[in-house]
Amino acid sequence: MNLKVLKWLLAHQSQLLQIVDIAKGYSKTLPFIQQWEIADKIARIVIPILEAEATQPKALSHDDIYDYFTDDTTVTPAREVQILQCGSEVQALAIDWKLVAETIVPLVVAILRALLREDE
């Protein structure tokens, strides 16, 4: 999971709550056009925040797991603390952690990656 995105979303709680309401309708079994409509609604919340903060999508789109994992991919104590802190903030907002981890963060990461302008 991309903790950078999760922390960024938690810093924008009112928008996160809007995104949660939208994401509740998402399912991988929906037709692609309906999945796209939900992603579009979320993008229309996320993109203005990025622009207002002058945040580059690349800054959030990649969570460098090598900073947090040992060679045997065991979660380090520092990473575990970050995960638990984020989890407690999500719980305090009465948001379903599974929805955040499996739907919202991946959709926001996909939006960020779509915004990246790679050198051609």
- What's the whole-number mean pLDDT along residues 56-66? 62
Q: What pTM was estimated for this model as a whole?
A: 0.78
| Axis crossing angle, helix 77-92 with helix 3-10, rounded to the nearest 10 | 30
Residue 59 is encoded by which pair of tokens? Answer: 């800054």
90 or 11, greater pLDDT: 11
> Which residues does 15 contact at the CB level (< 8 Å), separation at least 6?
9, 45, 46, 49
DSSP state of 26: -
CB-based contact 112:61 (threshold 8 Å): yes
91-114: per-residue pLDDT in tens?
888 899 889 989 999 999 889 888
